[in-house]
Structure 1
Amino acid sequence: MITSSSLKHLRIPFSLFLMPVFLFALALTPNHNEGRLLLVFLALHLFLYPSSNGYNSFFDKDEESIGGLKHPPKVTPDLYWLSQVFLLVALVLGAMISWSFASMLLVYAFVSMAYSHPSIRIKKYPWASWFIAGFFQGYFTFAMTYAGLSNLGWDVVLRPHVVIPGLLTSLMLWGNYPLTQVYQHREDSRRGDHTLSIKLGIKGTFIFSAFFFALTGAAFVWYFLDRNQVEVIWIYLGAMAPIMLFFLIWFGFVNSNPEKYASYSWAMGMNSISALILNAFFIYYFLENTQILQVFGF
């Protein structure tokens, strides 16, 4: 029997936070096909990501707040099998496009499993977990999405027109990833997971993320300049402004009282505003790149 607890641990709405990677790949894909678009979206956001969430929750057995759940319910045994069913559905959807795309989904799933499984548990290694999470949720997912949308094979992973924007998505995630850990120090320490945020300290986490946010912004500006899309730069900077304002306000509060403000509510606020604005920006970028806006006279 599937329990309501297990359904909650899938955290399907949390997939919204990873949607900018999908939209960026969609914006740069030259061969759009409605059927492939739907299959890729469903495979990733409705099945693969929730499968990963559920699998990780099963082994973490968190008692305090986690991403998308302020009060996570007690984990039940059916969560493990439910996560595997969701993975199977993702693979079937992927195979409807190509075996290459399905195998990419499987590689992502294996890395995700290794992140939390006790026999490997990448999560307990601060720098390795930071790099691997950012690489696979960013660069690899971008390449995988691009391959699925265009019905291409594994060779797309090393193509320059995929490598550069893929690395840009990883930069975004490498900056944000430690911020998702600032409110979990106590529980991560209890389990023996030495996360990067614990290693850096709360204030050090914010300084580290600020550096990567600045690096990411500069890299995106360079990317748009290289593509002769000067007008997009101003839209991008305008989109980033409220995100950075929220970050700086949060950092100011954390400096005054780290224990109070390095909290779940603030971290989810940062994630939410980032996801909503970046999703909106990449939808605009998709419309701009495909010249749909020009068709309607914009």
Structure 2
Amino acid sequence: MIVTPYLKALPLLRIPFSVYLMPVYWFALSALPPPFSPGRAAAVFLVLHLLAYPASNGYNSWFDRDEGSIGGLERPPRVTPELWQLVVLFDVLAVLGALLVSLPFALLLTLYLLVSKAYSYDRIRLKKYPILSTLVVVVFQGAFTFLMTQVGVGADSAAILAPPNLALALVSSLFLSGSYPLTQVYQHQEDARRGDRTLSLLLGIRGTFVFAGAGLLLGAAVLGAVYWWRGELLFLAVFALATLPVVTLFGRWVWQVWRNAAAADFRRTMRMNQVSSLCLSAAFMLMLALRLWF
């Protein structure tokens, strides 16, 4: 059947992996004063998580040709021409969907997609440069996406540009600076083989965990300060309770890695991503509900 090659290529878009990026979306909504359009919020979610992120994942797989585990796939299938066609389709649908939301959102999304291409494209390949690639990822998947989401749902520009909101956008990038190197920690051999000197490869396994812990701790400190600044102590309590499992799991993982570097493997990395993503998403969704109801 004609559809079969596309079904075989579809896993390389890693649509379930987009779940790991959900916290930024919910965080952006939870930071906004109501009201905003629920319909536009749903459309922004679909465009980002079902179209734009998968398109970027597939484009990365097209150029990386991974033979080992990658985020969301322990055994990635072989790259085929159908993957490229799916990437183009998802890119086009993402931009068209964004245009249906608003022109400013579509322009921001297009910029995001172009930057994600530069990350993987072999003639630019930002991924080869550890500091630059990290800055690009934490800015565009963090603060940029945070603000892009708010633009997409139709938030007032005064609310978006308010100093506390910009500080929370910074927090999203600080959290990414902690979590992003951890996604590379099990890929050192694969990255070195391709000539990609990632931040985790530069830092080493233990250095990656120290850097990640520092980024996450700084992000939590700034978040707590902003919630205190805005008088949202209930939100601070929700965040502290929701992240308790994340802190516990991360501490246990660090202890395992210090005893045996082999513990920095694919399965533990994915479990860390899953737990942190679900806990943070749940916390920000609860904050959003509290803001809308009270």
Same fold (TM over 0.5): yes
4+ residue runs over 6 A deviation: none
Q: Which residue does the alignment assign to 1:220? A: 223
Q: Which residue does the alignment assign to 2:245? A: 242
Equivalences for residues 173-252 of structure 1 within 5 A:
173-252=176-255
Task: Give the counterpart letter for 1:41 in structure 2.
Answer: F
Cα displacement string for residues 245-268 of structure 1 (whole angstroms, at most 9, x for unaligned residues)? 11111111111110x211000100
Task: Give the counterpart letter for 1:172 in structure 2.
Answer: F
Matches of 1:244 and 1:88, distance apart in 2: 39
Matches of 2:159 and 2:90, distance apart in 1: 26
Confirm or deny: 8 A CA contact 1:5 1:75 kept in the other structure.
no
Deviation of residue 28 (structure 1)? 2.6
1:273 to 265, 268, 275: 275
Q: Which residue does the alignment assign to 2:264? A: 262
Deviation of residue 158 (structure 1)? 5.1
Is 1:117 the counterpart of 2:105? The answer is no
Report the TM-score when normalising by structure 1.
0.93
SS of structure 2 residue aligned to 1:69: coil
Q: Which residue does the alignment assign to 2:6? A: 3
Matches of 1:209 and 1:128, distance apart in 2: 17
Using the aligned pairs only, state the percent identity.
43
Deviation of residue 98 (structure 1)? 1.5
Can you give the 5+ residue segments of structure 1 that lack an aligned partner in the other structure?
none
Confirm or deny: 8 A CA contact 1:171 1:212 kept in the other structure.
yes
Q: Comparing 127-136 with 228-237, which one deviates more in the overlay?
A: 228-237
Confirm or deny: 8 A CA contact 1:97 1:151 kept in the other structure.
no
Matches of 1:100 and 1:125, distance apart in 2: 30
Task: Give the counterpart letter for 1:163 in structure 2.
Answer: L
Task: Give the counterpart letter for 1:203 in structure 2.
Answer: R
Equivalences for residues 65-80 of structure 1 within 5 A:
65-80=69-84
Is 1:64 the counterpart of 2:68? The answer is yes
Report the TM-score when normalising by structure 2.
0.95
Aligned length: 290
Q: Comparing 187-196 with 28-37, which one deviates more in the overlay?
A: 28-37
Is 1:169 the counterpart of 2:177? The answer is no
Matches of 2:59 and 2:159, distance apart in 1: 29
Confirm or deny: 8 A CA contact 1:130 1:196 kept in the other structure.
yes
Matches of 1:151 and 1:208, distance apart in 2: 34
